[in-house]
Amino acid sequence: MALATARHILVETEEQCLALKQQISEGADFAELAKAHSQCPSGQQGGDLGQFGPGMMVPEFDKVVFSAEVGSVEGPVKTMFGYHLLQVTDRS
């Protein structure tokens, strides 16, 4: 079974998500932005979600996490929780 390790930033609006993605592309630290802006409790760990397998996260998340290039920042990804920026940190 495939396993992935990822981190994310959860915000309320697509605009916030795009603004944070722009900051990251300009060199801002993903983990620092997660601590400052993420509405998920994982924000305090820099957005780290740990390791998980297919089906353990919502489908929209799974689709990105198990297809995106490791290290790339993906999003906005809309789920029932809001808008996410996702970064796959490892996949096996």
Contact yes or no for 70/77 (Cβ under 8 A): no
pLDDT digits (tens, 9 = 90+) for 39-79: 999 999 999 999 999 999 999 999 999 999 999 999 999 99
For residue 47, count CB atoms less than 10 angstroms from its CB and return exposed for 0-12, middle for 13-18, buried for 19 or more: buried
Q: Options 3.10.50.40, 3.20.20.210, 3.40.50.10860, 3.40.605.10; which CATH number does 4-91 get?
A: 3.10.50.40
Strand order in the sheet with 73-79: 48-52, 4-11, 82-91, 73-79
- With bands split at pLDDT 50, 70 and 90, how would you rate the model's confidence at 6? very high
